[in-house]
Structure formats: C-alpha cells, structure tokens
Structure 1
Amino acid sequence: MWPEHPPDDPRAWLSAVAARRLVDARRSEAARHRREEAVDPGHGSAATEEGDDTLFLLFCCCHPELTPASQVALTLRAVGGLSTREIADAFYVPEATMAQRISRAKRALRGQRLDRPGDLAVVLRVLYLVYSAGHAGRVDLVGEAIRLTRQLTLATDEPEARGLLALMLLNHARLPARLDAQGRIVTLDRQDRRLWDTREIAEGVRVLQSALALQRPGRYQIEAAIAALHDDAARAEETDWPQVLAWYDDLVGLTEDPVRQDPAAVLGRAVAVGHVHGAGAGLRETDRLRDVIGDRHRWHAARGHLLELGGDLPAAATAYAEAARRATNVAERDHLVRQAARARAAGPASGGG
C-alpha cells in the first residue's frame, strides 16, 4: 500500500515493490524465448529483469481505481520516465494541470493494495493511447509505446498484445512520409510510399501473422490487418478496398451497437464503403453517425473526402472548411484549410457519387 503520504517518486517506490513481486504474466524462460522468436526472430534475449520490473510498473499504473487519463499520465511519469512538463506538452495542457492529474492518481492509489493491478485489456488501451498521443503531441511518445508493447508481447501469449504491436509498427513505418518538407500533414493517399520503412512493415506483418495464427482475433489485430493492406499497396490506387471493407465489417461486428459504441470504426467503414460501392453509399453511411459525432471535425473531414471522391468539389470544400473550423489540433486544422482551398481551386462539380 502507499504510505500515509504518497511518494514524490512513484517509480522508485513501485520499483521497490516490484523487487518483491512477480509479474503475473511472467512465463518460464523457455516460453519467453519462443515468444521472442515469434515476435522478432533474431531479437535475442532483449527482455531482461529490468523489462520485467517495467511491466510490473506498467500494470500498477493501470490500476482499476484510476481514470484512463490518470492511467496514461502516471504510466508516462513512472514507467516512461518523462517529466511532468514533457507529459503536459504531449497533451497540450498546462504543466500545473498535468501535475494535478498525476497527484490525483497518486492519491487515488493511497491505501490500495497492489495485488489488483490493471488487467491486460486496460494496459493495452493505455499503451494505445500513449502511442496515439505520440502522433498528436509535441513530445515523441511513439517509441516508448512501441518499446513497452514489445516487452509486453514477450510476457503474455495474448494475441491482442501482438496485434497492438503490429498496428504500431505498421503505422509507424509511414512516419517518414507523414509530413512534407515544410512540416505539413500529408494524407495517406498522397504520401511518397518510397519513404516508408519496409523493414518495419515486414516486422509488423510478421507479428500480425503470428497473432492471427492463434485464431482469437480482436480489435488491435483487425486494425493492424487494415493497416497492413494500406502498407501493401505500392500506390493508393492499388489499395485492396474490398478486403479493407471486409476487415471493417469484422471490426464493427465486435460491438452490439457500433454506431454509439465505436463510431470511429463505423466512420472508417463508411470511407471504405465509398471506395468499394461509390461515394454516395459512403455518405449514406456517415449519415448514421450525424447525431453521434456530427459535431466532430473527423466526421466532416470524412464527408469531405467522400464528396471529393464523388466529384462534388464545392461540397467537399465546404465540408473540409467545416472540419477545419472544428479541429482543435493546429496541424490538422491547417491541413484541412489547405484541403478546402485545394477543392475550391479544382473547380465545380465534375461528376456524381
């Protein structure tokens, strides 16, 4: 349990506890070597005792008494070793706000027994949030998320851990092409795919295959499969959209009410529907989400993409402009402003959906 006054350095305190406990997911040495080969042949025994301690800290930081925001903040502070200022910068909040969030997390754990750490599903979600923040924030958290997820795959046979690692690798491989020389966002369909990291893609595909072979597909494996299909296309026009749509069908099938429980997946599926069955069909799919995320910039951006796909450039420009107005991230806002300007400059509607 925490002492009467929570420690100033949760990493040091949790490390002391970790020395007296074993990570629940820890396996025998022989099994660990087998998993290392499955995840990264030739990687060797990179997972050390330090790695085991890191995983224990990770599970403790994902304690069920903490909110998701607190789990992420405490993970980055105690496990990632980031300063409070760095974490605040990553999430675009004042340092004082992040300090309060971390303090609340420590207070929430005061008196809690650490025999009930966060379960694996929570840990995976936190790692996914850390990875996502790495793309949006000013501090690069992607490498740390990949490192921790790689360690996790060596400590558990759960295929979703491998699925998450594969998803991170397959997306991270595109990083060199994600921004242009002026630091502006380049969308997937316009990226120079020669800049993609083919070795990282190959590793991601290998990890994904090892996960799918266990025949227990889940969200991260499915998202990784979609990412792999995009990475496999030499040109955007060669993307296997029917297969992408099939995987999206599986993804939205994971929840009973995907429109309300997983609108992001439904929105992604709508774009895939547009590429397979026509822009009009995709737009009708987005209509199902109007009451749920119609106030979000991504909904308007997706409609802009579909309207442009169908040739209605004036409507696409309007949708992109509305998306820009609602965007909170400066880089995304500027990108959407450029998208709107490009659609306007391209001229009047040239076709239907």
Structure 2
Amino acid sequence: METIPLLLISVGTVVAVVLIFLAILSHVIKPGGARVPIKGRHVFITGGSMGIGLAIAKQASAQGARVSLLARGFQKLEEARDEIRRETGVEVSIYSVDVRDEDGVRKALQEAGTVDVLICNQGFFLPRELVQMDMDEVKYMLDVNLVGTFNLIRHALPAMQQTASSTPRSIAIISSQAGQVGVYGYTHYCASKFALRGLAEALQQEIISHNIRVCLVCPPVVETPGYKKIAVQKKGTSVLTTKLATSSTKMDVKDVARETLDGIKSGQFFVPCNWQGFALSLAGSGGSPATSPLTALCEVFLAGAIRLGLIFTVGKWYKKTAAWNAKMQATAKKL
C-alpha cells in the first residue's frame, strides 16, 4: 500500500515539472501564437484555379473572406470562379498571370489591393532521376516553385507592411513533406521545397515587427488534378519513386485546404497535414520559429525518439533502392 502514495508523488512531480516547463516556454518562445482571422479579409491565392488552391478558395469564401485567385490559364480561372459562385454564392476576382512574370505579378497585386492573407500555392512537379533531367526542366521548376514565391512576396509585402492593421496578417507558403525529407526521384522538386523553408524562416524574422505571420504548409502526396495526370502518364516516374513517395498517407485536397486555413488562423509556423508530417516537423524543427508551448515541449522531448524511428525508415528506403537497382541491372543484362 505504501507504493501507491509514492507513485502518486512521482506522477505529481512529473506533472508539476511539465507544467513549470510549459509556463517557462510560454514566456520564452518567439514569436508565439496569434489569431489571424479569415472572415472579412482579403485572401490572395496563387495556383488557385484547381487542386489545393481552389479548395482553399472555396473554404475561405465560405468563411466570409474576399478571395482573389491568380493562375496562368484564364479559362481554368473562369471555371474556378463559376464553381466557387455555385458552391458558396460568393464572387471572387481572377488574375491570369505566370508567377515567373515579375511585372505581371506586380500589376495583379496592385490591382487586387492590399492583401491580408497571401497563400503562395503555385507549384510544378515532375518526378525524375537527376541523370535523366533536362536542365530546362530544373530551371523551370525552381522558377515556378521558388522564384515565383519571391516575386509574389516581394510585391505583396510593401502594402501589407505599410497599411495599418491591428489584426495580424499572414503569408502562407505551400511546401511539401518532400521539403522535410529527400525522396528518390525528387531531387529538383526537393531542392525547391527545402529552399522554401529557409525563405520562410528568414522572412518571419524580417516581418514579425509588422505583425505578419509566416506559415509553412507541408502536405504529403495530394490527389490533385496535376498529380493524377502525372500518375496516368507515368512520365519519368519509376515504381521505386512511387513507392517511397506514398510512404506517407495520401490526402484529399479538401482536408489539406482545411489544415492550411486552420494553421493560418492559429498563427502556426509549421503546418503539417497528417501525423507523419507532424513527426517530421518535430524531428526537424531546428531553428524554426516556435509558436506553441505544447509543440515546443514535444520537440524537446520527442525529437530523439522520432529521429530513431526515421533512421529505421530511411534505412528501409535504402534497402528498397538497392534491391530496385539490382533488379534493373539484372533486367538490363538480359536485354
């Protein structure tokens, strides 16, 4: 019977230590949490004519936001506008611009007016082993995924900084779980998505004094029209790449859109979309901004254990890669 009071004391001590640590973290972490409302605010979404961007636009419109969409294809934008109108009864503005066109981006943002929530969602994806790549493909992907994001932020930010607002604004950058861990066949895609994290971390330091929050959204493979098109074509995609890329559970665009908007509204920096993404964000938090005491606590105490699990996971990937290469070599010899 004496062990029960001792056990209660031990549990109580652990709980007290955790609570004290959380209290300390709540005062130490920067920039801390924030509430970024969507209703009644101007939400500007790139890549908004289909996929994740369109799903975010529908949900933001339904929540009372004034939405602007930017994408390359005017016809697709018109279709997206009509679809949003049918489903939500809300009118949205559309801008047919390539994010690589800096002058076009600048003019679109000037016409749209001051942005409260900028969502950089545009992206290009074509899985292929590095030796099979054409450098024009590499440059195109980097221009769309990375340089295009610079263009958008560079021309949206001055008005966001200069126009007074007591309510926090937000810049959300759609990265990927391929921006958290490298994947076979994704070299140029991973390069562009990993770079977005560096951009996001440095940018948050630059603009926090203007009450602007940065969100880095890291979804897994998402069932978008673009992904389905590549899956059907199988262009440059090996069976091995597909197996490794789908190690994390696929998600529907509606779920990713919901996680994105929830992350923006709560002022999170890392916005993982499933449990695998959450584990990756804990293990690889590094010097990223801390926005939640509870998340920071998990990062401190769980990072080592998650890293151990990832060592085993990546080890399995290398075994699969070795087996795949051996199979390909054997097939080549037969031919």
Same fold (TM over 0.5): no
Greater relative contact order (CA < 8 Å, ≥ 6 in sequence): 2
TM-score normalised by the chain length of structure 1: 0.29
Structure with the bigger percentage of helix: 1
Structure with the bigger percentage of strand: 2
